[in-house]
Amino acid sequence: MITGAHVIVYSRDAEADRAFFRDVLQYPHVDAGGGWLIFKLPPAEVAVHPAEGAGTHELYLMCDDFNATVNDLKGKGVTCQPVSDEGWGLLTSIRLPGGGHLGLYEPRHPKATEL
């Protein structure tokens, strides 16, 4: 029986991005040894989109109150890209200290966590 999923975020500055998840997002975590932090994520869902070739994988964080979440992150010094209304939800991306980006959106579609 599958009991969960493990997401990997690759980073040019793993220490800074771990600190971001710990201090800015305030995700609970355990130290797997040597400062290697493993974070508990909020409930998640997976969607399979059509792609040409092998495809890629992406990580999006979700929120229930987009404006409040973006304002909170900006207050903590997080850079957010311009917001777009995609019809299915409001979308931005947030810059990680290591240079990468994570998607952030407020879905308008039914949430799989409501099943």
Q: pTM of the predicted model, to two decimals?
A: 0.83
Q: Taking phi first (over 0 means left), then psi (-120 to 50 degrees means alpha), and beta for anything else, what does residue 109 get?
A: beta
Q: What is the pLDDT of residues 1-21, one digit of tens each?
A: 777 888 989 999 999 999 999
Q: What is the mean pLDDT of residues 78-103?
A: 93
Domains in the chain: ranges and CATH: 14-43+56-114 (3.10.180.10)
Q: Rounded to 5 degrees, what angle do the CA atoms 95, 98, 102 make?
A: 35
Mean model confidence pLDDT for the chain: 89
- Contacts with 64 (C-beta within 8 Å, 6 or more apart), sequence order: 106
